[in-house]
Structure 1
Amino acid sequence: MMDRSSAASVDPASAPSPHDAKIDAKIDARTDAKGLQEALYEQMFANDEPGPAPDAKTEPASQRRWPHLRRGAKIAIGLALIAIFGWLPLRAVWEYSSVEAVLNSRLVTLRTPIGGRVAAAQRLTDQARLDAGTVVLRVVNPRGDRTRLDDLRRQKSRLENERPSLAAKLASAQAAQKDLARQATQFRDGRVLQLEARIAEIQTSIEAAAARREEASAAVDRASSLAKSGNVSTVELARLTRELSVSQQIELGARKRLDAAMVELAAARNGSFLGDSYNDRPSSVQREEEMRQRAGDLDADLARIDTEIAWLASEIITEEVRFADLSEANITTPVAGRVWEMMTSPGEDVQAGQPLLKVLDCSSAVITANVTENVYNRLQLGDHATFEPNDGGAPISGTVVNLTGAAGAPANLAINPDALSKEPYRVTVALGDGAAHACTVGRTGRVVFARQETAP
């Protein structure tokens, strides 16, 4: 009883009339611009149907003018709506514009150069902005191969241990060589003095022999004169003559010994020693030469060891750098941008070449758009274009840089061009001030291309 009474007490004027419900249903069913115009037209002229005429005598003049004003306002509103919804399709027909467009940018995929475990270099959040050269991740490989580095270090240690003993041997050989050289010098000086004394002795012998020769010659001359007178016998003359001959040969032999002594002196001064009981050089000189050769060999070995140590030191430095590169790698961003996708997490084991994260390149913004076939056939590379964002932002100028048509577009973009599926013909527009808009990837809008008159 209460429900019926409350239902009966409801004001009939507040309930929707069948005529209004019919109009709402038509408006809901017609979602396009033409259907909306028809529904508005029906709603504006629904009250203009003829009905029972009121009493003209009792109706005031102001009430007679009100329906005309209301009808005029409805007509003006309808004409405005028709102009607005009719201008948009007309502008789309006259302008070379895209069907869909989105602000896009290149992606830089950072990969690990080595295998190991990922460690966070700094706290990163999604969409975090990064400067160029920022270390974002670190890959550590505790099981790096250091066999060659250890071998090089062992070889260097062995050579460094051998070097002191070799240097001591070289110093000893050089000292012995100096001592033997001193002995050889003393021997040569003594030999020269000895030969000079012998030459002086021979010269004295020559002088004595010459005196005896002269005496014998005088005796022979006297005996020859006496022999003619018979005072000296023939035998005495023959003896004196023999003594003269002997004295002459003695003088000649002394002069030959002097020549030989002069030859030995000249050789001794030049470092060669002539004699019957030894070779051209004495044993001290020969030992000095042997020690000099040994010292030279030891010096060469020492120089070789020093060269090998220096080479091993440089190789160790190179190997340490290589081992450090294989043991730990810093993942840095080559460009300024922001993190687009994290493909790993700290503590995860990764392999060499595995992608770790993707960075949005904030300096290479492009517009990815799709157009109709008619517009696509009129476009050329280098045409001017303007991107008009749907959020009412300022237009962005650009240039057409790629016309891929129905072919597959480049895949290193943040938003895959295949996501624009209303038309298959795709166009890429490079922004003139891409650095200022690169990190606003995802803004939608439309691209208006500059009209160019085609030659007849």
Structure 2
Amino acid sequence: MTRRPNSRPLANVFIGESYNAAPSSTQRIRELEQRLAELTVDKEQLKARIAQLDRQIDAERLRVNSLTFATLSAGISGLVWDILVDDGQYARRGQDLVKIVDCNTLIVAAGVAESLYDSLSVGAAVQFRLFGDDRIFDGTITRLGGSGASSLYANLAVGPSAQHLQRFDVTVTVPDLAAEPDLSCAIGRTGRVIFTGGPIAQFRRFITRYGL
């Protein structure tokens, strides 16, 4: 009695031609490496292009900024008192742009009654004291403007009040004001002018004379 051979198929057995798998994988790796190299080159080119565009943007900003501002040279040194043009406004040649106050030429404008005005003369000595300050400064009358002298204030930083124009205008220079650090540019401050021939000066001389 003989045994029949086992005719059942073997499980999980695959027979095929696999000798081409390794060369195919190597080729794929080379293709990916080549693509990676190409992308790296593209990346460097894009970085260079971005850097070039950044330089162009910076240059354009400088050009635009050079057209939007300019350095102005003033004939005097002082303080900017008023800006006469708005930001972005077109300015024509010869147009006034800024008002600058010359603090080295401070003047005092006084309004007096007609009776006192008639007794004053250019070159007469006066005294001036700021309100709230005990210091007294010597001054000199430099102009007698009369009544309604509004045109005399056209080039001054502070214009006259309506009440001031109802009186007689007297311009006084007080050189020592500019020498005081806290008063070197005391524009707009008010005080009292004491005229040599005025009633206040006469009253002071009376007190001094009799020791009162």
Q: TM-score range by the shorter chain?
A: 0.5 to 0.7
> Paired residue for 2:167?
424
Q: Which letter does structure 1 place at the counterpart of 2:185?
A: C
Q: Which runs of 5+ in 1 are unaligned?
A: 1-116, 120-137, 139-329
How far 1:432 moved relative to its partner?
2.2
Q: Give the whole-Å Cα distance in 1 for the aligned partners of 2:144 and 2:104.
A: 21
Which of 356, 365, 381 aligns to 2:97? It is 356
Which of 188, 191, 209 aligns to 1:442? It is 188
How far 1:420 moved relative to its partner?
4.5
Contact 1:371/1:427 (8 A) holds in 2: yes
Contact 2:128/2:139 (8 A) holds in 1: yes
Describe the superposition over 1:163-214 as per-residue Cα deviations: whole angstroms up to 9, x where unpaired: xxxxxxxxxxxxxxxxxxxxxxxxxxxxxxxxxxxxxxxxxxxxxxxxxxxx
> Paired residue for 1:159?
none
Instruction: Please identify, of 395-404 and 412-421, the stretch whose mean Cα deviation from structure 2 is larger.
Output: 412-421
Q: Give the whole-Å Cα distance in 1 for the aligned partners of 2:68 and 2:142.
A: 39
Q: Which letter does structure 2 place at the counterpart of 1:444?
A: T
Q: Does 1:392 align with 2:112?
A: no
Contact 1:361/1:438 (8 A) holds in 2: no
Q: Which letter does structure 2 place at the counterpart of 1:417?
A: P
Q: Which letter does structure 2 place at the counterpart of 1:359?
A: I
Q: Give the whole-Å Cα distance in 2 for the aligned partners of 1:415 and 1:370.
A: 14
Describe the superposition over 1:6-37 as per-residue Cα deviations: whole angstroms up to 9, x where unpaired: xxxxxxxxxxxxxxxxxxxxxxxxxxxxxxxx
Q: Which letter does structure 1 place at the counterpart of 2:140?
A: T
Q: Which letter does structure 2 place at the counterpart of 1:446?
A: R
How far 1:335 moved relative to its partner?
1.3
Q: Give the whole-Å Cα distance in 2 for the aligned partners of 1:354 and 1:118.
A: 16
Q: Which letter does structure 2 place at the counterpart of 1:414?
A: A
Which of 322, 334, 340 aligns to 2:75? It is 334
Describe the superposition over 1:61-101 as per-residue Cα deviations: whole angstroms up to 9, x where unpaired: xxxxxxxxxxxxxxxxxxxxxxxxxxxxxxxxxxxxxxxxx
Describe the superposition over 1:275-311 as per-residue Cα deviations: whole angstroms up to 9, x where unpaired: xxxxxxxxxxxxxxxxxxxxxxxxxxxxxxxxxxxxx
Contact 2:137/2:177 (8 A) holds in 1: no
**Per the alignment, do residues 385 and 391 of structure 1 end up closer, same or farther by CA in structure 2, a change over 3 Å counting?**
same
Contact 1:369/1:428 (8 A) holds in 2: yes
Larger relative contact order (C-alpha < 8 A, sep ≥ 6)?
1
Q: Give the whole-Å Cα distance in 2 for the aligned partners of 1:383 and 1:368.
A: 15
Contact 1:364/1:438 (8 A) holds in 2: no
Describe the superposition over 1:100-119 as per-residue Cα deviations: whole angstroms up to 9, x where unpaired: xxxxxxxxxxxxxxxxx651
> Paired residue for 1:266?
none
Q: Name the TM-score, length of structure 2 as normaliser.
A: 0.54
How far 1:438 moved relative to its partner?
4.6
How far 1:451 moved relative to its partner?
2.4
How far 1:337 moved relative to its partner?
1.1
More helix by share: 1
Specify the SS of the correspondent of 2:116.
helix
> Paired residue for 1:344?
85
Specify the SS of the correspondent of 1:429.
strand
Contact 2:139/2:174 (8 A) holds in 1: yes
Q: Give the whole-Å Cα distance in 2 for the aligned partners of 1:407 and 1:355.
A: 27
Indicate the structure (1 or 2) with the bigger Cα radius of gyration: 1
Contact 1:387/1:445 (8 A) holds in 2: yes
Specify the SS of the correspondent of 1:433.
helix
Q: Give the whole-Å Cα distance in 1 for the aligned partners of 2:141 and 2:177.
A: 14
Contact 1:338/1:359 (8 A) holds in 2: yes
Contact 2:106/2:175 (8 A) holds in 1: no
C-alpha RMSD of matched pairs (Å) = 2.3
Q: Give the whole-Å Cα distance in 1 for the aligned partners of 2:109 and 2:187.
A: 11
Describe the superposition over 1:397-456 as per-residue Cα deviations: whole angstroms up to 9, x where unpaired: 21000001114241111111355437420000011225334511011111001128xxxx
Q: Give the whole-Å Cα distance in 2 for the aligned partners of 1:354 and 1:389.
A: 36
Q: Give the whole-Å Cα distance in 1 for the aligned partners of 2:118 and 2:100.
A: 35
**Per the alignment, do residues 427 and 383 of structure 1 end up closer, same or farther by CA in structure 2, a change over 3 Å counting?**
same
Q: Which runs of 5+ in 2 are unaligned?
A: 1-66, 199-212
**Per the alignment, do residues 118 and 372 of structure 1 end up closer, same or farther by CA in structure 2, a change over 3 Å counting?**
farther
Q: Which letter does structure 2 place at the counterpart of 1:384?
A: A
Q: Give the whole-Å Cα distance in 2 for the aligned partners of 1:376 and 1:403.
A: 8
**Per the alignment, do residues 340 and 420 of structure 1 end up closer, same or farther by CA in structure 2, a change over 3 Å counting?**
farther
Q: Which letter does structure 1 place at the counterpart of 2:192?
A: R
